[in-house]
Structure 1
Amino acid sequence: MKTLTVENLVKQFSLKVLTGVHNLQQPITQPRSHRPGLEFVGHFDFFPTERVQILGRKEINYLHKLSIDERQMRIGNIVKYHPPCFIVTARPEGLTYLTQYCIEENIPLLCTNEPETTSEFMMKLDSYMVKALAEEIAVHGVCVNVYGMGILIRGKSGVGKSETAHTLIGKGHRLVADDIVVLKKLSPRTILGTHDEKTKEFLSLRSIGLLNVVRLYGRKAFQDETRIALDIELKKWEKNSLNNELEHEQTFTDYMGVKVPHVEIQLQPGRDVAGLIEAAANNWLLKQQGYSAAEEFMKRLESEFN
């Protein structure tokens, strides 16, 4: 299982460390944070103790309305569960008991520096933790963003994946990763494609060499990550293997239990592979909107005979 540490959060969000400076290697295994609202009033049946605990203005204001003894008891009841850390997004002044308990239990108590709402911070924090803790694999291929859709282009070495990506970039689309594509499972239905940092912005073309697409074509030629919508496999032309069916039966490729629609494109001199990929992307988008060209064509034929 992948893990983060409290120190990763401190560095990522420039958090101020109030207590627990020697325990920043505390592991974080859950990708969602939690605001202990019900827990402050005594309901602990479903308290997610493994999550990062966030205290915002609502929680702080509630605690300040309590008597000193009651405030001490409420805070103590939560601290004893030893969550990975507490992050305060409001001014922590006056929470002496929280600081005291965190010191005694060696729990990191952190505070945001940027003036933002608790919900805004939690959105950024959860997004970061989901990606950092996501199950991931690396596949050989190219990842591009075409019309806002992530497309994974696969095929045997030398089949023309990078050259096709270069043509797509020339048409205004974006490179995400070349050669090694890192796939992250964000949910049971979502696969994110990204690079492995070493190959970021680079595209390798046979006979040309290594290109930095940002330096050559500008920032718009590159995108850091994208949700994978299509898995396209480039294959050498096989005689008599293609047919002219109105609509092919949809097939899928399984990545970490997530099924991604699969399209096979056979190569032959003169075929506009980049154009076919654009067509596949647009056709997929229309299908998501409930439109089928084959169904419309059949309806037209039926109307002719009726």
Structure 2
Amino acid sequence: MKILTVENLVRKFSLKILAGENQLQQTITQSRSHRPGLEFVGHFDFFPTERVQILGRKEITYLHKLSIEERKIRIGNIVKYHPPCFIVTAGQEGLTYLTQYCLEEGIPLLCTLEPQTTSEFIMKLDAYMVKKLAPEVAVHGVCINVYGMGILLRGKSGIGKSEIAHTMIGRGHRLVADDIVVLKKLSPRTILATHDGKTKEFLALRSVGLLNVVRLYGRKAFQDETRIALDIELTKWQKDSLHNELDHESRFTEYMDVRIPHIEIQLQPGRDVAGLIEAAANNWLLKQEGYSAAEEFMRRLESDVSL
């Protein structure tokens, strides 16, 4: 089970600790933050108590305007649920009373130091937590970024995945991961691919050895993560087994219940596999724009028949 703590947020976003320094190991289980606006006025029917609570200019201004007694009630109604932490944004001041309540309840109270709006901070925070808490699996393969889209290359050991990735780098594309590809489910439609940390920037080539692609080819040769758009399986050449692309239906591979378009590329000496991968990537991009070469071809055939 993956663990995200308040301390991780402090380090990632350089947050100042106003209270609860000894409670930074509290765990965060929800990948979205929350602004307790309705809760301050007494509505708790849908209060997500397990989320990080964000207090921006609106919330703090409201609290400042309350009487001491009313403020005690409003804040007390929220801190009693013990959320993982409170983060104050937008450079708010006069937080002594809030600090005291958090100290009493053992809740970390943090504040941002960088000049940014509450909305900007929430966007960055939620994106970070979604990635950190996303379900993930590790698969054997190679991941490359081609024309801005992620492609997962799979196949039996020794089939040539890394060698093809090296050729793709030479054509201006980027390596994301070699051998072990970590897939993270960010949403019901989105799979993010990255490396496992240990293999970052490394590419293993048989007969050559381990290469650091950044040292060899520069920063442009590597990308830390990418959204997977295509799953390509590399297989040995089998005579008379290639599909007619006009006849067979689209195929998919599922990772954590997310369907990824799948194609098979058979390998044969002299075949331009890198060029085929580029063609597959461009064809996928055209399909996202609503164009299908096969459908247009069929329309032309039907038009000729009708004449």
Short-chain TM bin: over 0.9
SS in 1 for 2:87: strand
1:92, distance to aligned residue in structure 2 (A):
4.2
Query: 1:243 and 1:176 mapped to 2: Cα distance?
Result: 30
Give CA-to-partner distance per residue, 1:177-200, whole Å, 9 cap, x none.
001000001111110000011111
Contact 2:91 2:113 survives alignment (8 Å): no
Which residue in the other structure is 2:294 paired with? Answer: 294
* Runs of 5+ unmatched residues, structure 1: none
The code of the aligned residue for 1:211 comes to: L
Contact 2:14 2:113 survives alignment (8 Å): yes
SS in 2 for 1:226: strand
SS in 2 for 1:32: coil
Which residue in the other structure is 1:51 paired with? Answer: 51
Which residue in the other structure is 2:211 paired with? Answer: 211
The RMSD of aligned alpha carbons is: 1.1
Query: 1:92 and 1:303 mapped to 2: Cα distance?
Result: 68
Which residue in the other structure is 2:278 paired with? Answer: 278
Query: 1:47 and 1:245 mapped to 2: Cα distance?
Result: 52
Q: Give the aligned length.
A: 306
The code of the aligned residue for 1:302 comes to: E
Query: 2:56 and 2:158 mapped to 1: Cα distance?
Result: 54
The code of the aligned residue for 1:77 comes to: N
The code of the aligned residue for 1:271 comes to: R
Contact 1:60 1:90 survives alignment (8 Å): no
Query: 1:289 and 1:92 mapped to 2: Cα distance?
Result: 45
Contact 1:237 1:266 survives alignment (8 Å): yes
The 1:168/1:260 distance shift into structure 2, 3 A limit, reads: same
The code of the aligned residue for 1:287 comes to: K
Query: 2:249 and 2:276 mapped to 1: Cα distance?
Result: 18
Contact 1:168 1:174 survives alignment (8 Å): yes
Which residue in the other structure is 1:156 paired with? Answer: 156
Which residue in the other structure is 1:19 paired with? Answer: 19
Which residue in the other structure is 1:146 paired with? Answer: 146
Give CA-to-partner distance per residue, 1:36-89, whole Å, 9 cap, x none.
111111111100000000001111111112222212211111111100000011
Query: 2:247 and 2:181 mapped to 1: Cα distance?
Result: 29
Query: 2:244 and 2:51 mapped to 1: Cα distance?
Result: 54
Which residue in the other structure is 2:131 paired with? Answer: 131
Which residue in the other structure is 1:267 paired with? Answer: 267
Q: Bigger shift: 238-247 or 133-142?
A: 238-247
Which residue in the other structure is 2:186 paired with? Answer: 186
Which residue in the other structure is 1:243 paired with? Answer: 243
Which residue in the other structure is 1:8 paired with? Answer: 8
Query: 2:23 and 2:92 mapped to 1: Cα distance?
Result: 20
Give CA-to-partner distance per residue, 1:201-231, whole Å, 9 cap, x none.
1111111111111111111111100000000
Contact 2:57 2:92 survives alignment (8 Å): no
Identical aligned residues as a percent: 83
Contact 1:247 1:294 survives alignment (8 Å): no
Query: 1:249 and 1:152 mapped to 2: Cα distance?
Result: 20
Contact 2:90 2:116 survives alignment (8 Å): no
Contact 1:2 1:29 survives alignment (8 Å): no
1:168, distance to aligned residue in structure 2 (A):
0.8
1:90, distance to aligned residue in structure 2 (A):
3.1
The code of the aligned residue for 1:227 comes to: R
Which residue in the other structure is 1:121 paired with? Answer: 121
The 1:292/1:258 distance shift into structure 2, 3 A limit, reads: same
Q: TM-score, normalized by length of structure 1?
A: 0.97
Contact 1:186 1:192 survives alignment (8 Å): yes
Query: 1:298 and 1:242 mapped to 2: Cα distance?
Result: 20
Query: 1:245 and 1:105 mapped to 2: Cα distance?
Result: 64
Give CA-to-partner distance per residue, 1:148-194, whole Å, 9 cap, x none.
11000000111010111111111111110001000001111110000
Query: 2:79 and 2:92 mapped to 1: Cα distance?
Result: 16
Query: 1:138 and 1:7 mapped to 2: Cα distance?
Result: 26
1:243, distance to aligned residue in structure 2 (A):
3.4
Q: TM-score, normalized by length of structure 2?
A: 0.97
1:290, distance to aligned residue in structure 2 (A):
1.4
Query: 1:289 and 1:113 mapped to 2: Cα distance?
Result: 42
Which residue in the other structure is 1:30 paired with? Answer: 30
SS in 2 for 1:101: helix
1:260, distance to aligned residue in structure 2 (A):
0.7
* Runs of 5+ unmatched residues, structure 2: none
